[in-house]
Amino acid sequence: MLINTLFLFLLELLPLFLFSALVVSVVSLSPFKSALIIRSYLIGFGLGLLLITAVDYISMAFDGRGLELFMFSISFIQVFSFTLYLYLGSPHRHAKHLIAVVMILITMTTSVNFLSYFTVLWQSQGASQALLLGAIIGAGFSASLAVLLYFFVMLIEKYMPLISLFITGVFLTGQLANKTNLLAQIGLIDGEVFWSTEAIFSEQTVVGHVLRSLVGYEATPIHWQVYTYIFVLLILSLILIYKKPQLMSAIPKGEVSK
Amino acid sequence: MVARVNSFACKALLLCLAAMAPEYMADELVSYTIKLENHLFFPSRLEVPRNTKFKLIIENKDSSLEEFDSFDLNREKVLFPGRKVTLYIGPLSEGEYDFFGEYNRSTATGVIVAVSKQTLEKKTEEVTNAH
């Protein structure tokens, strides 16, 4: 039970913790107020609670394929919103809404998985102590990694401006690429494995989980996963390069030199 | 403007998904069934032909939620109580692929073994002869 809860944190909540670190670094380099982050998480969590009640009906839609289509669509909207944010730039009047959309959706989907698991486990007899311990260790580990990531990104930002935006883009690309597996699961696309690096670097280790959460590492990716990853990352990189002067000029004075 | 663009993006996404040829949804695919009962998978060991796509139907006969999970197969599916779900798996190269129930990892475990068609036919013949 303790190990199960720890794995739950690594699989489900670690991406949210890491994304939080990236978002804080992105927001610190924009004219947005940090209250935007807190409001977005609260809305996302609230939507997650509502979504739990509807998951059963969504999963039955489209001949049992509803949940997979829904999760893929959510990930697609996240990437699209972030791409639009890069294109429009942070001074645009809708820019903060776009970042908020990404945060809300990630929080919503993470909450659903996490709360479902917690509810099931809490109902099991004698599970509460192990659950609590696992939650404390998992939360501590995830939070530590997130803090390290934040300071790492802010340090590199001094020498490579806009790196926080690029790493956030990589994170969202990885999330979308991993969601293409869901389309193979419901038979919409081919599920043939492209390559296997399981023997070299297993995704079932702690480091593998962290890499999976941060950059979407997959030891046995399917073709569509690789194509999606390359295509989306290419688009985001091109926009970042094209819009670099505009994005640089929007950074509040003194932030990059901190 | 943002709302209009997002709306366009949603429509474009739906069109793309609809346009993808769902060739693997055809009924020609072989299907295998696994039942989940008392937090145990039956059968816990399933042999399938290698390099062949197939459908895996999982029936949750328990009254609690479970999640079918497999790192080896890259599959993850919520199993609602009393319901059946269908997963498309493969083609798999020869080998063993573990799966488990995420909420009951100690009991709900199993393995899918991809073998050559000859090995599979030989085993089927042996079972038939034994009966």
Query: Residues A64-100: pLDDT tens digits?
Result: 999 999 999 999 999 999 999 999 887 788 888 999 9
Name the average pLDDT for chain A: 87
> Looking at the domain assignment, is residue B22 inside a domain?
no
Please state the ipTM of this predicted complex: 0.81
> Looking at the domain assignment, is residue B15 inside a domain?
no
For residue A108, the SS3 value is helix
Select the residue of B17, B78, B88 nearest A184 (Cβ to Cβ): B88
Query: What is the rounded distance in angstroms from the CA atom of residue A208 to the CA atom of residue A201?
Result: 7
> Looking at the domain assignment, is residue B24 inside a domain?
no
Select the residue of A4, A80, A191 nearest B105 (Cβ to Cβ): A4
Q: Say if the Cβ atoms of B78 and A55 lie within 8 Å.
A: yes
Residue A91's contacts (CB-CB under 8 Å, 6 or more residues apart) are: A31, A250
pLDDT at res. B110: 96
> Looking at the domain assignment, is residue B63 inside a domain?
yes
Residue A246: which H helix or E strand, with range? helix A244-249
pLDDT tens-digit series, residues B94-117: 999 999 998 888 899 999 999 998
> Looking at the domain assignment, is residue B99 inside a domain?
yes
CA A1 to centroid of chain Cα atoms: 25
> Looking at the domain assignment, is residue B26 inside a domain?
no
Residue to substitute from A188, A209, A218, A227, interface B, most B β-carbons within 10 A: A188
Length of chain B in terms of residues written: 131
* Domain membership of residue B43 as a residue range: 33-130
CATH assignment of the domain containing B37: 2.60.40.420
Residue to substitute from A96, A185, A228, interface B, most B β-carbons within 10 A: A185
User: Is A56 within 8 Å of chain B by CB?
Assistant: yes
> Looking at the domain assignment, is residue B12 inside a domain?
no
Query: What is the rounded distance in angstroms from the CA atom of residue A139 to the CA atom of residue A100?
Result: 23
> Is residue A43 within 8 Å of A30, Cβ to Cβ?
no
Sort A35 into a burial class: Cβ within 10 Å, 0-12 / 13-18 / 19+: exposed
Question: Between chain A and chain B, how many beta carbons pairs sit less than 8 Å apart?
Answer: 85
How many domains in chain B?
1
**Taking residues A239-250, what's their average pLDDT?**
86
Q: Which residues in chain A are contacts of B24 at CB distance < 8 A?
A: 187-188, 190-191
Residue B38's contacts (CB-CB under 8 Å, 6 or more residues apart) are: B62
Q: Say if the Cβ atoms of B86 and A121 lie within 8 Å.
A: no
H-type alpha helices, A92-222: 95-123, 128-159, 163-185, 206-215
Q: Which residues in chain B are contacts of A101 at CB distance < 8 A?
A: 6
